[in-house]
Amino acid sequence: MQAFPLVQTRADFAHQVMNHAGVVDEALVAAFAKVEREAFLARGPWRIAYPGGYSLTDSDDPREVYVDALIALDAARRINNGLPSAHALWIHALGLQRGERVDHIGAGAGYYSAILAELVGAYGRLEAFEIDPDLARRAREALADRGNVKVHAESGVDRALPAADAIYVNAGASAPNAAWLEALSPSGRLLFPLTGEDGYGGMLKITRTDGERWPAKFISGAAFINLIGGRDQREAAAVSAAFGHGGALRVRWYIRDNTASEDDWLRVNGWRLTL
């Protein structure tokens, strides 16, 4: 296969992803155009996810994977390489800069870890955490040539994490984990899927400040597999109820305390999101 057509395929794909995400971000376009998605997938043909199931690609031509769609990593467990335009929207919201440090929780096979690593550059650092040993092995192999990436075959929950300017989580949690918040540098950003009992919720961004109130806002809706070790039944029920009442886009603050306010959108287990 000639190299140029595949390079052009990736470039076209990158622009399509940005258009679908509705964002303008030249650095992110360049990252999607450079990273080889097929390197983070099993050998083709590949299973493309559609409502109701998967459809097998016609061939093992790498061009088949440059679509804005979920692609199975483990179809039996419904574990997928995530939707590119959704990740583009969320990664754009992190506002990553060259040289920053990022912790990636739930890295899967490492494709979006590679995108993040491109954005922070050679003087930045990416620490990828993946609890599934097979996925972690695949991520380590696919990311082996990236000197600014380290893959940890372990949980990124309830443990000390490397200090980070940004933390990106790709599995559904019922609360912001204390370890994530403690790892953030001043003005550090946490972006994670806050999900309820059914796995649905929203991608929540929290920015660390010196005050008692940390700015918080939902970037979009989100649906993820559950984060192992990052779920609490009472919290998940409260999250589902809050989303059921609406108003998520009005959230402005994350607060850790046991007080109550009429502006609270969600209040549970010593923390709250308020308007």
- Residue ranges of domains in the chain: 3-274
Cα–chain center distance at 223: 11
Q: At what angle do helices 111-120 and 26-34 cross, to 10 degrees?
A: 130
Residue 50's pLDDT band (cuts 50, 70, 90):
confident
Q: Is the pLDDT of residue 2 over 80?
A: no
pLDDT at 156 over 80: yes
Torsion angle of C-alpha atoms 170, 176, 177, 179, degrees rounded to 10 = 100
Q: How confident is the model at residue 262 (pLDDT cuts 50, 70, 90)?
A: very high
Cα distances (angstroms) measured from residue 195 to each of 46, 156, 233, 243: 28, 17, 11, 9
What is the number of other CB atoms lying within 10 angstroms of the CB of residue 198? 12
Spatial distance between the Cα atoms of 54 and 133, rounded to a whole number of angstroms:
24
Q: How far is CA 28 from CA 121, 194, 262, in A?
A: 12, 24, 40
**Choice among 4-8, 23-27, 77-81, 220-224 with the minimum mean pLDDT:** 4-8
* Alpha helices (runs of H) in 24-76, residue ranges in sequence order: 26-34
Those residues with Cβ within 8 angstroms of residue 253's Cβ, 6 or more apart along the chain or in another chain: 213, 214, 215, 216, 273, 274, 275
How many residues comprise the chain? Answer: 275
Question: Which helix (H) or strand (E) is 100 found in, with range?
Answer: none
Mean pLDDT of all residues in 20-47? 97
C-alpha 182/C-alpha 103 separation (Å) is 12
Q: What confidence score (pLDDT) does residue 4 get?
A: 55
Give the pLDDT mean for 185-189: 97
Specify the CATH number for 3-274; select among 3.40.50.150, 3.30.360.10, 1.20.1260.10, 3.40.640.10.
3.40.50.150
Task: Please classify residue 155 by burial: count the beta carbons closer than 10 Å to its beta carbon, then call 0-12 exposed, 13-18 middle and 19+ buried.
Answer: middle
